A and B are shown apart, each in its own frame.
Chain A
Amino acid sequence: MKELRKLAYRLRQDVVDMIVNGKGGHIGGDMSVMDVLVTLYFKEMNITKENFNTKNHDHFIMSKGHSVESLYAVLAEKGFFSRETVLKEFSQFGSKFIGHPNNKLPGIEMNSGALGHGLPVAVGMAIAERMNKSDNRVYVVMGDGELAEGSVWEGAMAGANYRLDNLCAVLDRNRLQISGSTEDVMALDDLHRKWESFGWHVIDVSDGNDIEKLCAAFEEARMVKGRPTVLIANTVKGKGSPVMENKASWHHHVPNEEEYKQIMSDLKARAEED
């Protein structure tokens, strides 16, 4: 677990470099979701470079597609493409590494970017995998601001209706969106009761940046039968440096030189903490 935590902070540094080099990106959400992605790709999901082009692998959809930089950092670490390439090419003219997931790249199944699409697509994958009598599981990560999209709730209804226990959704509950607090923009609470009333098994992860807690939650999700599971991962937007933590203005801020130095120093220090 300690190693994964270190990895998450190292990959956060890659994200910062990507965004500074590419002169754009969604840094706040990248930082909040990084521990979820690291847990999924290095502990929970059966997705490797080798099995990705076979029928035997789990499925992942980054519904909050604007946090693609964090996904790129993780996929590079998984060996789908080189870290140097993505750091150099992200957002550059003619690059394949665009600002939202694109399935022309290895390791990515579905294009996203328009919010509210991931859950219905994940429901479709889960239905199809059940038809195929396969053990492959389906994971989808959504932002919390994204939950204002009606299509999310269409997918939530269908997931419960079809009793998709091979489906696990994760909410990156960082409580901030581009205009401010999610509760001020369009109030979401009580999310636990909302998802429960839709027929889902709901797991509140008190610290969604704690890999140990995330692992336990995913393990619980695997045990649930007859309904899908949603993890409400309570995270910190901008997690990793006080320069950006819990600041809505860092939704897509590009660090200046001074901020860059401080953030990188903070991320390195966090990686070394026990």
Chain B
Amino acid sequence: MANIANKQMICDVLMEAAQKDKDIVVLCSDSRGSASATPFANAFPEQFVEVGIAKQDLVGIAAGMAKVGKRTFPMSPACFITARSYEQCKVDVAYSHTNVKLVGISGGVSYGALGMSHHSAQDIACMSSIPGMRVYLPSDCNQTRKLMEVLVKDNEPAYIRVGRNAVEPVYSEDNVPFEMDKATWVCSGDDVAIVACGEMVLYAKQAAEILKKKGISATVLDMYCVKPFDKDAVIEAAKKAKAVISVEEHSPFGGLGSMVAQTVSENCPKKCVTMSLPDAPVITGNSKEVFAYYKLTGEGIAAKAEELLNG
């Protein structure tokens, strides 16, 4: 299969599931095009609800439908569905325990030059702090498929954040190690542990390859399940390493880095560094340019690891 954007994979899995399960419903807020959900809307008009540009309504309606037996997947840009609709996510979805899977598309800095209004650098922090809300940032389309195949069947609230564009896969289509709510060990090493989520996993993997050539062995943990947070995996990886690096497309506060640092400091204290977006509006550019500027690349992560190990 050709490499596709994670959001397109979400739509593919939803279409497969919707054929068998008439309770699967996709909702959009004038976002069907950007969510890659147009094929779903065309193929399953009876299982598609358009709410217009009204994100609070999007989540409230999805929660109401779920209460009457539907499995709802509201899809809207991550920046809006987690911020504009935050109270609906908290009260109508998590607190009311409705079977809603909130899909945040074009997450992080996917919208690049469109600016801070369109970036979601706070979503891990705000969604993870809601009791009962699971938070997933799959790293590639193959892992996205595995995750979605579980989510179309389970009955708990969740937030899934994916980027806008197709990304180079971390896993091959025929070999995707996946256990629900358990971090994936991309590789294992003794010098440094790199814990990453979402699109950063690919760069963490590249960093491990660069480091290997220099005789440094790295663990790379794909923490696609930011919540529930797989503490055991982080502790195991951190214990055998000399230092820990977390990498995320998110604010430095309250995201993966905070969770990793909290876990490591409580269980096996050692040097922890958070690599993330800055606490500031990011520089103008497409996501690759933005990542490069903030050293969120294979080279940048590898350099940080060397600096830590040599320091």
Q: Which residues of A contact B (CB under 8 A)?
A: 55, 59, 103, 109-114, 116-117, 119-129, 131-132, 150-151, 154-155, 157-158, 161
A55 and B296 CA atoms in complex are apart in Å by 51
Given contacts A103-B96, A127-B49, A154-B54, contact A117 B91 (CB under 8 A): yes
B118 CB → nearest A CB, Å: 21
Q: Find out whether the CB atom of A120 lies under 8 angstroms from the CB atom of B64.
A: yes
A124 CB contacts on chain B under 8 angstroms: 60-68, 72
B70 within 8 A of A: yes
- A120 engages B96 (CB within 8 Å): no
Residue interface bits B274-296, CB-to-A below 8 A is 1, else 0? 00000000000000000000000
The distance in angstroms between the C-alpha atoms of A109 and B70, with both chains bound, is: 15
Tell me the bound Cα distance from A129 to B96 in angstroms. Answer: 19
B67 touches A121 (CB 8 A): yes
Are B97 and A103 in touch, CB under 8 angstroms?
Answer: yes
B122 at the binding interface (Cβ < 8 Å): no
**Residues of chain B within 8 A of A112, CB atoms compared:** 91
B95 CB–A CB distance under 8 Å: yes
| Cross-chain contact A154 with B63 (CB below 8 angstroms) | no
- In the assembled complex, the CB of B161 is this many whole angstroms from the nearest CB of chain A, namely 23
Q: Are A129 and B54 in contact (CB under 8 A)?
A: no
Contact check, A128 vs B65: say whether CB atoms are below 8 A apart.
Answer: yes
Chain B residues with Cβ below 8 Å from A116 are: 56
Cβ of B64: which chain A residues have Cβ within 8 Å of it?
110, 120-128
What are 14 A-B contacts defined by CB distance under 8 Å? A110-B64, A110-B92, A117-B60, A117-B87, A120-B59, A123-B57, A124-B64, A128-B67, A151-B60, A151-B88, A154-B51, A154-B54, A154-B57, A158-B57
Q: Is the interface of A mostly helix, strand, loop or mixed?
A: helix
Taking CB atoms and an 8 Å cut-off, the chain B residues in 42-76 that contact chain A are 46-47, 49, 51-52, 54, 56-57, 59-70, 72
Residues of B within 8 A of A122 (CB): 64
Residues of B within 8 A of A117 (CB): 60, 87-88, 91-92
Closest Cβ of chain B to A228, distance in Å, is 13
Contact A121 B92 (CB under 8 A): yes
Per-residue 0/1 for B155-177: is the Cβ within 8 Å of any A Cβ (1 yes, 0 no)?
Answer: 00000000000000000000000
Chain A residues whose CB sits within 8 angstroms of the CB of B49 once the complex forms: 127
Task: Give bound CA distance, A55 to B56, whole Å.
Answer: 27
Q: How many residues of B contact A (CB 8 A)?
A: 29
Q: How far is the CA of A117 from the CA of B86 in the complex (A)?
A: 12
- A157-B52 contact in complex given A111-B91, A151-B57, C-beta closer than 8 Å: yes
**B25, B69, B70, B96 interface centre (most CB from chain A within 10 Å):** B96
Check if B61 sits within 8 Å of A110, measured CB to CB. Answer: no
Which single member of B57, B95, B97 contacts A120 (CB below 8 Å)? B57
A156's nearest neighbour on chain B, judged by CB, is B57
A200 to B46, CA, bound (A): 24
Q: A-B pairs with the 6 shortest C-beta distances?
A: A124-B64, A120-B60, A154-B57, A124-B61, A128-B68, A121-B64
Query: Are A158 and B70 neighbours in the complex by a CB distance under 8 Å?
Result: no
What is the distance, in angstroms, from A36's C-beta to the closest C-beta of chain B? 20
CB contacts (< 8 Å) of B47 on chain A: these are 131
Closest to B68 in A: A128
Whether B65 lies near A132 (C-beta < 8 A) is no
Q: Which chain A residues border B95 with CB–CB below 8 Å?
A: 111
Whether A150 pairs with B56 at a CB distance below 8 angstroms is yes
**A155 (CB) vs chain B CBs: closest residue:** B57
In the complex formed, the residue of B with least CB distance to A123 is B61
